[in-house]
Chain A
Amino acid sequence: MSPASPLLAALLRAALPGLRTLDLGPPTLFPWLPDALCGAVADADALPPAEAALLRRFRHPDGRPLVGFDPAADAALLAGAPAAWGDAPERLVRFAATPPPSGLPADALLLLPTDADLPSGPPRARILLLLGAGEAVERHDLLVPPARLDAIHAALRRAAEALAGGAAQGGRWSARALAIADGMASVALLPEEGQTHRPPLSIPAAALIHDAPAPAGRDGLELPGTGRVRLLLGAPPAGRLRAVLRGEGTHRAALFGDGRRLPATVVEHRSGETILEAERWPPGGAGVPVLGVAVPAPAHAVLLRLELLP
């Protein structure tokens, strides 16, 4: 995750109604866009066997594995099959690096890092997104069909102005949109006082990417009898992290960050919910961060939600 990820996600969500994202490479927009489809790595075939085995465990909320681990589902996504995208009217593919030379849905929007090469295929216009993250400014390039450049640019400008006016936690932010050249425009959303947009985020169990044998239901994610579940986090949490549980033995629950036990407080509420809170994520982890939640076996417990706090 980049520091501007929450702001980028908020901007895209506000500007592009019905957006569904394919977040390839270490996730940037997930979980800030909770229904994003994730490919945790750029090239699953190049992974060491143990890492591939780990990532192969995970399932999206609709049961699909991570992108890169199911050739048929991957092909359907890249072919632009509507069902693969949940019939979303707007589709975005984010790449951590240069996109592949072919095989991209023709009408999808593409989000690239600054230094990535342009993909081949139909011509695309470019919108530079300049987003403030503390003292730094991040740039992301949104590639759009040329015929839609004006409409999407205008929508991003309106969204940026709305965020600058209301959602930026009381700080002073400036929003600016420019038409730079033919086929190129920009939208800037910058803090005036070195702030970072990082609102608290509550992710319901039904939106989590996990390795439990059954998908989450309306009542949460039922932990398997072993009492262990792994959750794929989009990025190392920058602040506090909470897992909210209900059920037997949750007062003895534990959190694991990248496989290692996290110091955590456990608070039981009269409502029946148990909140495990870890102050900080261990630094220096390699790979996509994975949160483990464990309760003593045989487990009769449900994970209700995950909260990422500033």
Chain B
Amino acid sequence: MRPEPESSVPLDRLTAFTPLPPERNGIADYAAMLLGALARHYDCEAACEDWLADAPPGIAVVDPALAHRAIAGGDGRVLHQLGNNPGHGFVLEALRRVPGVTTLHDPGLLHLRQTAGATRDTLLAGLRDAPPAFARYARGVAAEDRWSRADHLLFDMAGEVLARSRAVVVHSRFARNRLRALHGEAATAHVEVIPHLLPPFAAPPREEARARLGVPPDAFLVCTAGFATSAKRFDWLIEALEAVPAAHWVHAGAERPEEFPLSAAIAERPALRGRARVAGYLSEAALTDHVAAADALVNLRFPSAGESSGSLARGFAAGVCCVVSDTGAYAELPRDAVLRVPLAGAAPALAEALAALAAEPARARAIGEAGRRFASTEMALPAVALRYRALIEASRGRPVASRPAAPAKPVALALALGPGLTAAAVARALGGVEGPCRLLLAAPDLVSLADLSLERPGLLDGLLPPWAALRAIRVLDGPCAGLLLDVDAGQRGARAA
């Protein structure tokens, strides 16, 4: 059932361009939860590429290609949920045409650009965002057109998003500072930190979850979740778990073998045989069971570009002890709410921490409880929704950068190309034009065109006036058969001279 609005006054429309479940990404889940809470404040609709997606009750899913028609002029309330994967290509497109508040879940957008059809020129143009310190390297990338994994950290390609958004939401000070370092104070003055939200679900008791999963009550269970990417440092975790024979490990998420071959890496380690497995992508309920059943939720990250983690929020909600890398946004979490693992010597430090938790379950439970308390204060969904509302309202009048001007369209002229077409007629047609111009000499078909060119050798030389320079020529087939000429008609004054 849709939440009741706070008063009987009709709510203002809020259009959110976002992926939604069942799309398998954390931002889709985040958006569904956020919209559910924002529905108390707005008449929400979700513009989602999947028109049959699952929106919260009472929230319509609309076609993003048509959503602009219901947005009031340039003053409508619009929210974009943007992440760094191809499922957000339509959000990036929408942001270019309909500005609003943008949640930048991943401050780096190079992967999205590369996978969402950006041309080579667009990508290289994005290098202009590079800070001065990287400028020389950026020129090298542009010159050689080579991209490496390091480029995802160096070039965030977020400049356009910053410029075209009325406000930008990130989930950590780290992410905001990173944007500020790369793009400067002025371009990031409208970046606000709103913490990730706490999923509004009731975690099942640990014993019940374990019973459903077949995990013995006394087993020490480590859980990881989400897509298995290389930045989540499963290599460190595997090394650490080899040194903690008491620990069982389940990865509650899908593999991305092209990034990190998780199953293969586990299979290579005999010490993990029988106590490590990959569950694959899970339903919402199964994922919740896995997190609730765990003694520790491990969420490492290096390098960090300031990403936020839905898995971590889920761990907080379940009151599970969360173990994180001491870097990026994770370093901002209170020391008593998580267990931080240093980047230097991470694997042995992680092994030590897990062994300690396995030996002292009460400590794990205490950290988990402190994490839950922290999250229920700082990340509570109603409070997050209120902060969004305040930002959406405060930023409504804020201007955004203009879209890059489209190149001026050359004047287009057309003449029927046949035996009767004369140079004088072409000169008359071009007479009123100055500068670049596109001239179509339309023929009935290619056969007629070929016949005419045989009958009149040097056809174009004879037809074009001397003051018109032919820059390019294309032969067109099909419904608009003929010769398409790019002509520079020069300046009228120069012609007379």
Contact = CB atoms under 8 A, between A and B. Distances in A.
A285 interface: yes
A79 B442 contact: yes
Interface in B36-83: 47, 49-52, 60-63, 65-70
Among A48, A77, A79, residue most surrounded by chain B Cβ atoms (within 10 Å)? A79
Nearest to A85: B479
Given A62-B479, A83-B478, A256-B51, A50 B416 contact: no
B412 interface: yes
Nearest to B432: A102
Contact of B62 (A63, A83, A260): A260
A135 interface: no
A204 to B, nearest CB: 20
B51 A72 contact: no
A299 to B, nearest CB: 11
Contact of A258 (B52, B66, B438): B66
B51 A228 contact: yes
A230 B52 contact: no
A14 interface: no
B481 A81 contact: yes
Contacts of B445: 83
Given A49-B97, A53-B93, A259-B62, A81 B442 contact: yes
Contacts of B47: 259
A75 B68 CA distance: 30
A72 B440 contact: yes
Contacts of A252: 52
B452 interface: no
A155 B136 CA distance: 75
Given A81-B442, A285-B69, A287-B69, A254 B52 contact: yes
A82 B60 CA distance: 47
B97 A73 contact: no
B403 A49 contact: yes
B479 A75 contact: no
A85 to B, nearest CB: 8
Given A64-B479, A72-B440, A294-B51, A54 B416 contact: no
A84 interface: yes
Nearest to A64: B479
Contacts of A230: 63, 65
A58 to B, nearest CB: 11
B62 A84 contact: no
Contacts of B66: 54, 258-260, 290, 292
Given A54-B65, A81-B442, A81-B443, A71 B479 contact: no
A286 interface: yes
A71 B93 CA distance: 24
Interface in A68-91: 70-84, 86
Given A49-B97, A261-B61, A254 B442 contact: no
A75 B63 contact: no
A294 to B, nearest CB: 5
A45 B478 contact: no
Given A72-B440, A76-B414, A259 B65 contact: yes
A103 B432 CA distance: 13
A296 B51 CA distance: 9
A79 B444 contact: no
A260 B60 contact: yes
Tell me whether chain B's interface is mostly helix, strand or loop, or mixed: mixed
B480 A72 contact: yes
Contacts of B70: 259
Contacts of A296: 52
Contacts of B440: 72, 75-76, 79
A202 B62 CA distance: 27
A4 to B, nearest CB: 27
A259 B69 contact: yes
Interface string A99-135: 0000100000000000000000000000000000000
B442 A75 contact: yes
B384 to A, nearest CB: 28
A80 B413 CA distance: 12
A45 B63 contact: no
A57 interface: yes
B26 interface: no
B100 to A, nearest CB: 12
A72 B483 CA distance: 10
Contacts of B97: 48-50, 53
A209 B70 CA distance: 23
Contacts of A254: 51-52
Interface in B432-452: 438, 440, 442-445
Among B52, B67, B444, residue most surrounded by chain A Cβ atoms (within 10 Å)? B52
Nearest to A260: B62
B482 interface: yes
A65 B442 CA distance: 18
A82 B480 CA distance: 9
Contact of A57 (B65, B403, B482): B65
Contacts of A259: 47, 62-63, 65-67, 69-70
Nearest to A106: B416
Given A51-B68, A230-B63, A287-B69, A86 B412 contact: no
B186 to A, nearest CB: 25
Interface string A131-154: 000000000000000000000000
18 contacts: A49-B403, A50-B94, A50-B97, A53-B93, A54-B66, A57-B65, A62-B478, A76-B414, A76-B442, A76-B481, A81-B479, A82-B444, A83-B480, A103-B414, A258-B66, A259-B47, A290-B66, A292-B66
Ranked nearest first, the 9 interchain pairs of A and B with the lowest CB-CB distance are: A259-B66, A76-B480, A81-B442, A79-B414, A75-B414, A259-B63, A50-B68, A50-B97, A75-B440
Given A49-B96, A51-B68, A226-B49, 8 more contacts: A70-B480, A72-B438, A76-B476, A81-B414, A81-B479, A260-B60, A261-B62, A290-B66
Interface of A: 45, 48-51, 53-54, 57, 62-64, 70-84, 86, 103, 226-228, 230, 252, 254, 256, 258-261, 285-287, 290, 292, 294, 296-297
